[in-house]
A and B are shown apart, each in its own frame.
Chain A
Amino acid sequence: MLLYSVGVATRRDYDDIPGTYVFDGVHSRKGYQLNKMCMSLNSEDGRAEFSADEAAYCDRFGLSAEQKAAVLAREWLEMLRLGGNIYYTFKIAIVDGLSMQAVGGAMSGMSEDEFRQMMIDGGRAPEGSLTHG
């Protein structure tokens, strides 16, 4: 029986989808503390305390050094790689007053305006799909 744990390479039918971080058990375990910190930003008090001293706030939630660095630098892709989930990490963007389009642009190498225009023009072609290659 194949057990499922962090670091065990189990092939999944979504592994080959490009530019996509499927939030599975591996990511969830890796990102638990990071996501827990983000969850706390659902309260006014949490947002105020985070803004007052981000590094100390990350430490309080037990983020790894890498996770903390990614949060402080607002490296959105790196947060995903380190187990962050977009619905959680986006709460940091809300504190910053950023839109989902700004974050989407930052993750795909575009400005917010470029990203917004791409959406108006019909969105990103579904690269990696079975019909679009």
Chain B
Amino acid sequence: MAEIVGGIGTSHVPSIGAAIDGGKTDEPYWQPLFAGYGAAREWLAETKPDVAIIAFNDHASAFFLDLVPTFAIGTAEVFPPADEGFGPRPVPPVHGHPDLAWHLVESLVADEFDITIAQEMPVDHGLTVPLSIMCDQPEEWPMKVIPLAVNVIQYPQPTGRRCYRLGQAIRDAVDTFPGDERVVIFGTGGMSHQLQGERAGLINSEFDRAFIEELEHDPEALTELKRATYMREAGSEGVELIMWLIMRGALDDEVDRVHWHYHVPASNTAAGLVVFENA
């Protein structure tokens, strides 16, 4: 059977991708951020997963406001990088794993999660920046990817508790897939940031550090946190952190934090990167 071999939580700030694409990672502004990525990249290179399930959000790229799926799974063979207004990022296309993706859809719907099926979907920075953070600039991404798009832009977003429960159901689905795939799961977005309004530029490092502690040690308690609390404490866009709960839900109750890096700022955002393994 397939198995989940680790979980990654990471910010997906567009400018991090732009720094990689533009060869700026050694510049003084970016160096402290990228200095903290090496160990996580080594972990991934050694772990050699076959598949990554990436919980991310689309930012007005694949989905408009005419249809807003709360959870959508990409079942395609390939997902092209999206044009978000700058032209597509110069990164490889993302290759899917339709067999496992369809198994996830079947298993999750049987488990009463009403998943939207996406058979064509361009993927934006929300998905490709985490790949760049973990894999740098390969000619092809070193693993298959199953995009899991989560609505975090249009209120009402799903609750943190729902995201955590979805992660648990994803774990059950992977565990029952008749293959030998080794799977990592990503929760992306955050950490604290606010792009909009008079409060733009908000950072709350105290919240971010408390969040990562609780995510590791007591994720059930973290599911009590309201969406409004994320917006209030971590900024209106900091609510993306609910996607880290999907990742955490797919892991064992007890985990080891094998890597952690936190840096302010990446553009307008507090950038965090965590790697968990089942204990």
Contacts and interface: CB of A to CB of B under 8 A. Distances in A.
Interface of A: 12-14, 17-25, 28, 32, 35-36, 38-39, 41-44, 47, 77, 80, 85-88, 90-91, 94-95, 99-101, 103-105, 107-109, 115, 118-120, 122-132
B198 A39 contact: no
Nearest to A131: B206
Given A25-B155, A28-B154, A100 B267 contact: yes
Contact of A107 (B196, B206, B231): B196
A36 B61 CA distance: 12
B157 to A, nearest CB: 10
Residue among A14, A21, A23 with the highest chain B CB neighbour number at 10 A: A14
Given A85-B60, A119-B267, A130-B232, 9 more contacts: A12-B228, A13-B228, A21-B197, A87-B60, A99-B267, A103-B195, A104-B201, A123-B268, A124-B201
Interface of B: 14-15, 59-61, 64-65, 82-87, 153-156, 192, 194-207, 226-229, 231-233, 235-237, 264-265, 267-268, 270
Contacts of A21: 196-197, 236
Contacts of B204: 126, 129, 132
Contact of B199 (A20, A44, A86, A95): A20
B65 A28 contact: yes
B266 to A, nearest CB: 9
A20 B196 contact: yes
Query: Which are the 4 A-B pairs with shortest beta-carbon distances?
Result: A123-B203, A19-B198, A19-B199, A94-B85
Given A23-B155, A38-B60, A126-B203, A86 B196 contact: yes
25 contacts: A13-B228, A17-B199, A20-B194, A22-B236, A28-B154, A42-B60, A44-B87, A80-B196, A86-B237, A87-B60, A94-B84, A94-B86, A99-B267, A100-B267, A103-B195, A107-B196, A119-B264, A119-B268, A122-B264, A123-B201, A124-B194, A124-B199, A126-B233, A130-B229, A130-B232
A99 to B, nearest CB: 8
Contacts, number: 159
B267 A101 contact: yes
- From B199, B264, B267, name the one whose CB has the most chain A CB atoms within 10 angstroms: B199
A123 B264 CA distance: 8
Contacts of B205: 122
A19 B65 CA distance: 23
Contacts of B61: 42
Nearest to B229: A130
A125 B227 CA distance: 20
A3 to B, nearest CB: 15
A131 B231 contact: no
A14 B264 CA distance: 26
B270 to A, nearest CB: 7
Given A17-B228, A22-B236, A129-B232, A107 B198 contact: yes
A21 to B, nearest CB: 5
Contacts of A119: 201, 203, 264-265, 267-268
B60 A104 contact: no
B154 A107 contact: no
Contacts of B196: 20-21, 80, 86, 107
Contacts of A19: 197-200
Contact of A22 (B65, B85, B155, B267): B155
Nearest to B226: A13
